[in-house]
C-alpha cells in the first residue's frame, strides 16, 4: 500500500498489528523504521516535502535514542564486569550509522 502511495490506508492496516490496535503513535514508539521510511518515501513522491522531512527527522531521532541508550549500557557493563557484552556494544556502535535505514533517512532528509 505504501509503494502505491496509499499512506492513510497503509496506516490503518499497520495499526491493526500493534498492541493497542488503532493508535498510529504506537508505530513510532515501537521504532518501526521500515514502515516510517516507506511512508516518508510516499510523502516525498506526493510532493509533500514538509511532512516527508518531518518523518525523516523522526526516524533519525530513533538513531539518536539508540545512541543515548548505549551510555546507560556502558556503565552497566562496567559495573557487572561483562566484557563480552561491552565488546559487542562497541561493535554495534561502529555498525549503527552504517545501517541501510540510516543511509536512506539521511538521503531522504537531504532530498526533502
pTM of the model: 0.66
Q: Give the pLDDT confidence of 25-40 residue by residue, as tens digits.
A: 677 777 778 888 888 8
Task: Give phi and psi for 37, each to the nearest 5.
Answer: -65, -40
110 exposure class (CB count in 10 Å sphere: 0-12, 13-18, 19+)? exposed
State the DSSP H helix or E strand holding residue 12, giving kind and residue range, or none if neither. Answer: helix 7-14
Per-residue model confidence (pLDDT) at position 24: 59
Phi and psi angles of residue 40, each rounded to the nearest 5 degrees, phi first? -60, -45
Radius of gyration of the CA atoms of the chain, in A: 17
Give residue 19's domain range.
Answer: 2-111
Number of domains in the chain: 1
pLDDT band of 105, cuts 50, 70, 90:
confident
C-alpha cell at 31: 521504532
Amino acid at each position: 500500500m505504501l509503494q502505491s502511495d496509499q499512506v492513510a490506508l497503509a496506516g490503518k492496516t499497520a495499526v491493526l498489528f500493534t498492541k493497542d490496535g488503532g493508535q498510529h503513535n504506537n508505530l513510532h514508539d515501537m521504532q518501526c523504521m521500515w514502515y516510517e521510511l516507506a511512508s516518508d518515501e510516499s510523502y516525498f513522491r506526493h510532493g509533500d516535502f514538509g511532512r516527508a522531512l518531518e518523518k525523516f527527522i523522526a526516524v533519525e531521532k530513533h538513531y539518536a535514542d539508540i545512541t543515548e541508550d548505549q551510555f546507560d549500557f556502558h556503565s552497566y557493563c562496567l559495573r557487572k564486569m561483562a566484557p563480552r557484552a561491552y565488546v559487542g556494544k562497541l561493535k554495534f556502535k561502529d555498525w549503527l550509522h552504517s545501517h541501510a535505514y540510516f543511509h536512506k533517512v539521511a538521503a531522504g532528509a537531504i532530498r526533502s
